[in-house]
Structure 1
Amino acid sequence: MTHHLHPLQAAVLAGLLLATGGVRAADTSAPQQLERWSAQASAPGNAERGQQLFTQRHGAEWSCSSCHHSPPTRAGQHASTGKPIAPLAPAFNREAFTDSAKVDKWFRRNCKDVLSRECSPGEKANVLAYLLRLKP
């Protein structure tokens, strides 16, 4: 016997899956992340400073743009592993900066690679202000 769901039942089931984590939904957005870091830094993000931080080397072998390109509007590639990297600018990748845990993890790792330390909230706000300025 085949059982078909009524459209209303299917909608309720989909809602339950979302609510219980059966389907991963975004928990944040790039503008919300910018707001969080700007508040922590007690200053708004500065796109010009963010672009400088993103494109310059800081004593290490790499800059952010070594893997993410400059501007980061197309797919990149990890400089040592060759692993593909989705475009970083939110206007070119709707998934960018939508998962707080991933955002925090990758900023921590990448800042240590580029700066040999974690980024400050102000540096994160600046980089994200730059990334949000990039439009198709």
Structure 2
Amino acid sequence: MKAHLLILPALLMASPAFAADTSPAELLARYSAEAGTAADPARGRELFLANHSGGKPETPSCTTCHTDDPRAAGKARTGKAIDPLAPSANPERLTDSAKVEKWLGRNCDSVLGRACTPGEKADIVAWLSSL
């Protein structure tokens, strides 16, 4: 086999397995700018741990699926494992803006019964990034 044909597979194996188009710091800056205020990790922690009544009764809190420690794995109501949310425990977290928006959209609606505000997103990202 020619040497140049071996290069492509080697490059593909060296590529990261996830789409990293952002970082927690970039998300934090974006959401804070959209909110027009600085993020507060304490508010993010409070939002994450609190029980809410606006969403689905079976998901009153983020902790329903993600546990009260975002550095630990969680479990969806379907039984599917959920990787840790905290970037310190899972470096892929908060690095794909499309995934972040998809899951914040679904989960905020499920828990709160509405979309999260940019300020709430900033607070959650700040808290998760602080762990």
TM superposition score category, shorter chain reference: 0.7 to 0.9
Question: Runs of 4+ in structure 1 displaced over 2 angstroms?
Answer: none
CA separation in 2, counterparts of 1:127 and 1:25?
Answer: 21
- The one-letter amino acid of 1:84's match is A
Aligned positions, number? 124
Q: Take 2:105 and 2:49, find their aligned partners in 1: how far apart are those partners?
A: 18
Q: Distance in 1 between matches of 2:19 and 2:31?
A: 22
Matched, 1:74 2:72: yes
Q: Aligned in 2, Cα 1:109/1:25: closer, same or farther, shift over 3 Å?
A: closer
Question: Using the alignment, how far apart are the partners of 2:36 and 2:66 within structure 1?
Answer: 28
TM-score, normalisation: structure 1: 0.82
Map of 2:101 onto structure 1: 104
| Aligned ranges 1:1-136 → 2 under 5 Å | 2-5=1-4, 10=7, 14=11, 25-59=19-53, 60=55, 61=57, 62-78=60-76, 80-134=77-131
Matched residues, percent identical? 45
Gaps of at least 5 residues in structure 1 are none
Q: From the superposition, tell whether residues 25 and 116 of structure 1 become closer, same or farther in structure 2 (CA, over 3 Å).
A: closer
1:113 maps to a residue whose letter is: S
Q: Give the Cα separation in 2 of the matches to 1:53 and 1:35.
A: 19
Query: Pairwise CA RMSD of aligned residues?
Result: 2.2
Structure 2 unpaired stretches of 5+: none
Give a deviation string over 1:40-91, Cα, whole Å, max 9, x none: 001111011110100011104321111111121011101x211110000111
Amino acid at match of 1:72: P
Q: 1:47 to 1:24 in 2, by over 3 A?
A: closer
Distance in 2 (CA, whole Å) between partners of 1:24 and 1:63 is 28
Structure-2-length-normalised TM-score? 0.85
